[in-house]
Structure 1
Amino acid sequence: MYQSILKAGTALTAVVCLASCTGEGQSDTSGDVVQVNDTTITEDALTAELRERYGKQVLQDMVHTKLIEDKAEQLEIQSEQVEQELQTLKQQYEVETDDELLTLLQSQFQLPVDSISSLKKDVLQPQLVRRQMNEAVELSEEDKRSYYEEHQEELESVTARHILVDDEKTAAKVKDELADGASFEELAAEYSTDGSASSGGELGSFTRGQMVEPFEKAAFSMNPGDISEPVSTEFGYHIIEVLDRKTTYEDLETDVEEAARRDQIPTEQEWMQQLMDEGNIEIKDALYEDWVHSQKSPAS
């Protein structure tokens, strides 16, 4: 989240800089601004330099801000919802007051927002707009099944427990005791050298890529109820029991839907481009055509 906040803050800094030098806070007199030896820096020269350095980004930021405000109104996002986002942020970072939150965001994340109202308008409201737009993404049954077919292997999961020992001889002994009907949980508590010993060797559910390769290869080749031969890894020797394995679409439907939805959620830049496409943007001065339509999202 804070990558977006930081980049939005950078754009805001540019806006403030340009506005303060070309509008708000402007002196009553125009013309010369600073004399440096024999050279005079004029207000026109200063403004031109600011436009060259920051103008395009500032204009894009102004367009984006207005698009977000209009979308928030269209989605009927209320001030109470933004306030709730603020309270959630305070709870997340365990602070109680607005000042404490601002200090944290400024010091830890270098966020150049100096008021809660700016935080709400420039960060939290856009966050709510994007979230509601993402939640509106619709998935058909065909979409979900297609995603499953393409990503079945990475979606498959195994629920397992293990007994981890230091040497092959002990592993063989444990395997023999299991074959004789000993309790897996009791043997895990007695022999296992890792933290799972206290919970009967339970490892929970995992997908491919979360365990070391020999362990993963063994676990994903087993069926529920199977107990492996000793499996050697860098941590020692494992006796693995598979408790459950999800491989079918029906088993994985909830996981498939979550993953497929994440896959369809647009990036920050795609989201802003969507707002640009939906908006009615009319360029009044051809000079600014490229400034607006060659845009990149501030959060990209």
Structure 2
Amino acid sequence: MKKQILIASIGTIFLMSACNDSDSSENGKEIVQINNTTITEEEFVAELKDRVGEPILNEMVRNILLEDKAEELGITKEDVEEEFASFKEEYGLEDDEQLLTMMQMQFQLPIETVDEFKTNFLKPQMVIDQLAVEEVEITEEGKKEYYEENKEELESVHARHILVEDKETAETVIEQLNDGEDFANLAEEYSTEPAASSSGGDLGTFYRGDMVKEFEEKVFSMEVGEISEPVKTEYGFHVIELLDKNSTYEEVEEDIEERMRSEQAKSPDEVVQELFDEANIDVKESTYEDWLQSS
């Protein structure tokens, strides 16, 4: 299960920091002149506060609360490094440059360095993930009850297939398999699936609902090691081999725990709001009293 990525407003926080650095004696200085009109730094800062001040202030307070909580929970630099390695593996990232590119292109985040990613995104997310499940209780009885109620949804299979255009070709493939030919080699030779040449037709592990109806109905009814007759779908004719099936309580117990923990966990918003509610936040300037999530 891919980790949810915590989105923080680094760019806007930078802007607010720049505003806070402005000396009061310079607030009236002119910074832009357009024809006969000038914009002062005081006007610019006031506009920034009106437009983005409230979310940025909440973001800054939130980041402090999360950093304090990380220290309280004992999240170490080593823990962050371990989570970083796990994150890269989960997203199939081979190096740091690929990670930065993904953050910038896919998630539109202004991340320039790996250290920035670890500090501003990964570590806060670790805090939220830990707090989200700290009150979750999972018992053996609860897991078994969950299993009985969700057997079909929990069942998974590992299969491979060879996709061809017509039934006759599918039957030819089956004959060769029965004669001892290698499945992966036949997938590379016959399959019209683009990835078959490198995957050998392996589809990995999947659940009900992941494949088209006709394919799913067949593969979940098969026995491990069985080769199917030609199965027709909108894509053509499939020859399927079932490699593994997980359906007993013991086989899916780990999946049950993960699902139950995810379903019972607090949302990130709930976690952050609780941090605001529990914190000692003293708003020194009355102008900002109504800006915070909770004060």
The reply to whether TM is greater than 0.5 is yes
Structure 2: 5+ residue stretches without partners:
none
* TM-score, normalised via structure 1 length: 0.69
Q: Are residue 168 (structure 1) and residue 167 (structure 2) matched?
A: yes
Give 1:298's aligned residue: none
Aligned residue number for residue 126 of structure 1: 124
Please report how far the alpha carbon of residue 237 of structure 1 lies from its aligned counterpart in structure 2 after TM superposition: 3.3
Query: What's the secondary structure of 2:23's corresponding residue?
Result: coil
SS at match of 1:263: helix
CA distance in 2, matches of 1:83, 1:160: 35
Q: Which is worse superposed, 124-133 or 49-58?
A: 124-133
* AA matched with 1:94: D
User: 1:103, 1:190 → 2: CA distance?
Assistant: 38
Distance 2:259 2:275 in 1: 24
Contact conserved, 2:231 with 2:237, CA < 8 A, in 1? yes
The answer to whether residue 217 in structure 2 is matched with residue 217 in structure 1 is: yes
> How far apart, CA to CA, are the structure 1 residues paired with 2:207 and 2:98?
37
- DSSP 3-state at the match of 1:128: helix
The residue matched to 1:292 in structure 2 has which SS? Answer: coil
CA positional deviation for 1:292: 1.1
Partner of 2:17: 19
Gaps of 5+ in 1: 296-300
**Does the CA-based 8 Å contact 1:90-1:101 persist in structure 2?**
no
Q: Which residue of 1 aligns with 2:206?
A: 206
Paired residues, what number? 283
* Aligned residue in 2 for 1:270: 270
In the TM superposition, what whole-angstrom CA distance separates every residue of 1:35-75 from its partner, at most 9, and x where no partner exists?
A: 65665645543333222112101210121011101101111
SS of the residue corresponding to residue 143 of structure 2 reads helix
Range with greater deviation from structure 2 (11-20 or 83-92):
83-92
Tell me the distance in 1 between the aligned counterparts of 2:255 and 2:35.
Answer: 69
Q: Hey, what's the Cα distance between the residues in 1 that align with 2:251 and 2:244? A: 11
TM-score between the two structures when normalised by the length of structure 2: 0.70
Cα deviations by residue, 1:157-197 (Å, 9 ceiling, x for unpaired): 2344556555434555777x69xxx8474385786623879
For residue 60 of structure 2, what is the amino acid of its counterpart? M
2:157 corresponds in structure 1 to: 158
Higher helix share: 1
SS in 2 for 1:59: helix
CA distance in 2, matches of 1:105, 1:200: 29
Alignment equivalent of 2:69, drawn from 68, 71, 75: 71
Looking at structure 1, the residues matched to 183 and 59 of structure 2 have their Cα atoms a distance apart, in angstroms, of 59
* Matched letter for residue 95 of structure 2: E
* Percent identity over paired residues: 44
2:181 corresponds to 1:186: yes
Q: Is the 8 A contact 1:30 1:43 kept in 2?
A: yes
Structure 2 residue matching 1:77: 3-state secondary structure: coil
Q: Is the 8 A contact 1:159 1:203 kept in 2?
A: yes
Whole-Å separation in 2 of the counterparts to 1:204 and 1:239:
15
Q: Counterpart of 2:152 in structure 1: which amino acid?
A: E
Partner SS state of residue 186, structure 1? coil
- Does structure 2 conserve the Cα–Cα contact (< 8 Å) formed by 1:163 and 1:187? no
